[in-house]
Chain A
């Protein structure tokens, strides 16, 4: 809402010396937040003066243009009193006209400095200005011709043009619809200073009679009040007065024609949207009803719209010809005010805010009228607003106000709200006494009935937002001032600290950062391109996504099922920016659809039952927390210590094992095949029999698709699963201090046998005396034969209660080897 300060001051007598800064500070404190203070012409430096055109000599030019060589009387403003010679390209003026002249030395908006310069064979000493050149609008069809009584040549033109006038732009919250009018802003200004206020909508209006334009309301809930007045004999060519046009522009609206401008002006003044019909095009009575199935309307923005029928459908205004407008939102083309309109039927109607909101949303119409109607305008001032329109039309357009005054319906009654006098103090913690509560509620226009301990307030008609006790508390409190709220710490309950899962999540992040990985947060949106690049098969479950109805980009219409695309792209971005290697991780939610039907919408007047709440939760997609890591390029740097090392499959698996160790979870590793990993270099990771995820080297095609070096590695696991398996309480370990017995064995197995299989057999075969087992070497070569490999394990034995004998250790070792031989065909290397 943009409001010229002078307009506000018309309705409120602010104390002397109140500056615009003071005013906006106080209004901000009351809830009308200052967005900006604009001052038209603030970037203009004079001399900018009134000039009278003395002579104008048209001179055709070679380029086809005709310029006017003018002499202009600028009084003594040029220091000589002599006429000023100025070249002007416009033609919309004549000798004798008063114009606006900027003299050499002046600066126009955009830092445009004016000097006497040679052009078209003359020395042009200044410029005759258009509205656009002065930043007053877009009009550049010609120069500004001032009214004959604007002033004397040489006089300063700033005031005449309204330059330098301050316009305040407020950010108006949706509950304060009344402040979408100068009437409302001025009321708040009066409140801020306790200053006298004159309500522009308080006017005596002619009594309703049966002579007015006939109106029938079929849907009084949708349109409780409809006022119609008629002006005839209107001069459609009558210009909009300069002051009105200027105020419209200052408020951010474009002047169009007197009739339209008047309706807009009164809307800005009172907050009451007005519609004007061309009375000669109306056929028969105006009716208001809901749209019916199949009905259409071309609104005056030229859009042909299919209307929504039914009791919650669009409210329409009709006459005998059919639908002529979307009530309260936008008029139709057939009865639009035009340059030939001489009879104007003025509509000031009150519309149901919810219906307005729905229609605006449904048809994507965002208009100044709609904005006010859907937030709730004052229903009580419809006659006054219509009367004000009639006054302005007849004053400036020369018509006659017809005596007929139609008023159908009545303004809806306001609810009453009862509160204790102490409620504002109880809720805000401020020292607010009963007298302050009463005074402040009356100041905002509430009518009070006072009992001993409670008061009952009837809010004023312009405040549809006041419905509940706490609404009144806010009104009282904001006038007392939010700066009066004391700062007191509450008495907190005994908290239980972070949950186990929250602590584990921090641990996971710290572990990965400690392992040289950098955390990334990427957008969780995904599309087919990413799935293609990952090489996911058409039936891969990760392609079954939660789709968005209104994605930002049709390329990425889904919530992602995997964190890898975002990480792979970030890795490529880092390498592209010169990094020699990156290790990135991300923890984030992924989503899988569940198809358990829609989530119900319940009422809000009581708590849904436990079953109902469960139904809400059930309808939501599965949203596990995933962790993914991408390792690309150099993992260890080359340096004085020796060569560097590129990332590989084992780095990815190592990170999962390390996380397992941090969380006290044993991670099982098994060979697997899964996109987007290299089929021979992919591990499936498991914990406690549950699949955790996968890790290994990425498929060469995937590296290529994402622009990453070959052998880049990745992992993606379900972090929820890992954390669920984390030990809750670690039992204190028991360990023996008897001497350690060491046995190393080398076993030759077929190449397809995994180290994990051999290790598991050894562990089981060795029995309870085995303290630890570790694979320390893998050998392939002639000595073990083609297709075979040798795995060397270090076995460590210890008994809890004695020193082991050599025989005991050897027996345990032999049992281990025997089981490995039986399970995996291992042969001990001699």
Chain B
């Protein structure tokens, strides 16, 4: 830096002296550094970079210099003001960050506070369970068929090869609507939906029928006058018992896990011939009958759980429902949804399903 130009211009401008400019700049930088918060910084900005700050005032004096001195003085002031302005911006950013950080800390809440302002709702496991079953079959290309709970006697019994004097009618203790000779019952199974389906559609038919059914059973831990069934019906050319087995094995695995299959035992149902009981590999002990060295409680040590009934659709049923029994064969199966859920979830008392205690239902959440 050159010395003062005293031989060119007699006017000496003190604020433009390098020492003065440096002092003003240093004072400004010190004030900026010393600013502890945004308010102090604002004050420092006002004092050291504002219109009335020494550097601003000095800047105004440049015009008073002789032309050849202006450049140097202008550079000097400009550099000083630039340093101050940079320091201000840096400090501003610093303090803003600090402020924000402090503010966020101050706004800390207890995130573990409860948020259960509106209590949780839930759908009933019988509903979601029936939907789960329906979804398994829909995924196989089946459809879900439904029908009324108060049903014509002919559809509930006769059409299914349960004639008026069929001994099997006594197996199902029926609720009759009054008068009892008007041929209207509370359906004892969902099979009339199968009959309705056959009456209204032409094969191929692949339907699953979940629904509420009624029998005059006393209400206890394992019996209920109102319960739920799911039945399936497949009618097509060339349908055999093997297809029934394949379908039920698939259903069992989808419902209870891979490796859970079924076995058939000969049985009797008027609507199927041959007929079979379906047992399920116990999914708790996986068929061993033992759990932790003790007899499995779920299957009572048998390794199998009774699941439902099934068989090849009796050609008499096909005929009554208008299906060509020469061309088509079919299979049907049925099981209790309540019972299926009871052993799937280890529910000991059937009545828990119908009491409406929200603690029972909400426990299932969206599990199914």
Contact = CB atoms under 8 A, between A and B. Distances in A.
Are A and B subunits of one complex?
Answer: yes
Interface of A: 28-31, 33, 173-176, 353-354, 357-358, 361, 374-375, 426-430, 468-471, 473-474, 477-478, 482-483, 485-499, 502, 506, 509-510, 512-524, 546-552, 559, 566-567, 569-571, 573-574, 577, 579, 581-584, 588-589, 591, 597-602, 604-608, 613, 616-617, 619-621, 623, 635-637, 639-641
9 A-B pairs closest in CB distance: A429-B242, A570-B356, A607-B322, A31-B266, A429-B240, A474-B274, A492-B141, A173-B268, A599-B183
Contact of B243 (A374, A488, A516, A582): A488
B362 A518 contact: yes
Nearest to B313: A470
B283 interface: no
B240 A427 contact: yes
B8 to A, nearest CB: 65
A620 B356 contact: no
9 contacts: A470-B312, A486-B245, A495-B141, A495-B142, A549-B177, A550-B176, A573-B355, A584-B358, A639-B114
Interface stretch (B26-34, B97-105, B156-164, B287-295): B156-164
A521 B353 contact: yes
Interface in B124-145: 124, 126-127, 131, 134, 138, 140-144
Interface of B: 113-114, 116-124, 126-127, 131, 134, 138, 140-144, 146, 148-155, 158-159, 161, 163-165, 167-168, 170-171, 175-184, 186, 199, 204-206, 212, 216, 218-219, 225-226, 234, 236, 239-247, 249-250, 261, 263-268, 273-277, 312, 314-316, 319-322, 329, 353-358, 361-362
B269 to A, nearest CB: 9
A306 B10 CA distance: 150
A785 B118 CA distance: 37
B122 A477 contact: no
B248 to A, nearest CB: 8
Given A174-B167, A174-B171, A552-B216, A547 B178 contact: yes
Contacts of A597: 182
A604 B165 CA distance: 14
B114 A640 contact: yes
B123 A637 contact: no
B357 A577 contact: yes
Contacts of B126: 521
A180 to B, nearest CB: 12
A601 B158 contact: yes
Contacts of B146: 502
Contacts of B242: 428-430, 485-488
A620 B148 contact: yes
A619 B163 contact: no
A598 B183 contact: yes
A489 B250 contact: yes
B121 A515 contact: yes
B310 to A, nearest CB: 11
A516 B182 contact: no
B146 to A, nearest CB: 8
A428 B154 CA distance: 29
Instruction: Name which of A490, A600, A608, A637 has the most chain B CB atoms within 10 A of its CB.
Output: A490
A620 B319 contact: no
A600 B219 CA distance: 32
Instruction: Name which of B117, B155, B249, B316 has the most chain A CB atoms within 10 A of its CB.
Output: B117
Nearest to A621: B150
A618 to B, nearest CB: 10
Contacts of A588: 212
Contact of A478 (B143, B225, B250, B266): B266
Given A521-B354, A583-B119, A598-B182, A547 B206 contact: no
Contacts of A494: 141
Given A30-B266, A521-B354, A604-B319, 15 more contacts: A174-B268, A426-B240, A430-B242, A487-B249, A498-B144, A520-B356, A523-B225, A550-B175, A552-B225, A566-B356, A607-B199, A619-B182, A637-B117, A639-B116, A640-B114
A569 B356 CA distance: 9
B167 A374 contact: yes
A175 B123 contact: no
Contacts of B155: 616
Contacts of A427: 240-241, 274, 312, 329
Contacts of A493: 141, 204-206, 236
Contacts of A473: 273-274, 312
B151 A600 contact: no
A640 B319 CA distance: 69
Contact of A549 (B144, B180, B206, B243): B180
A56 B355 CA distance: 63
A599 B154 contact: yes
B236 A490 contact: yes
Given A482-B265, A515-B121, A552-B225, A570 B355 contact: yes
Contacts of A510: 123
Contact of A492 (B142, B176, B312, B355): B142
B356 A522 contact: yes
B184 A488 contact: no
A821 B314 CA distance: 73
Contact of B163 (A514, A559, A604): A604
Nearest to B306: A33
A604 B158 contact: yes
A430 B343 CA distance: 31
Given A174-B171, A486-B245, A604-B163, A574 B182 contact: no
Contacts of A486: 242, 245-246
B319 A358 contact: no
Nearest to A519: B124
B197 to A, nearest CB: 12
A641 B144 CA distance: 46
A582 B120 CA distance: 10
B312 A488 contact: no
A185 B94 CA distance: 97
A589 B151 CA distance: 13
A589 B118 CA distance: 29
Contacts of B247: 489-490
A514 B141 CA distance: 30
A607 B175 contact: no
Contacts of A516: 118-121
Contact of A574 (B148, B183, B356): B356
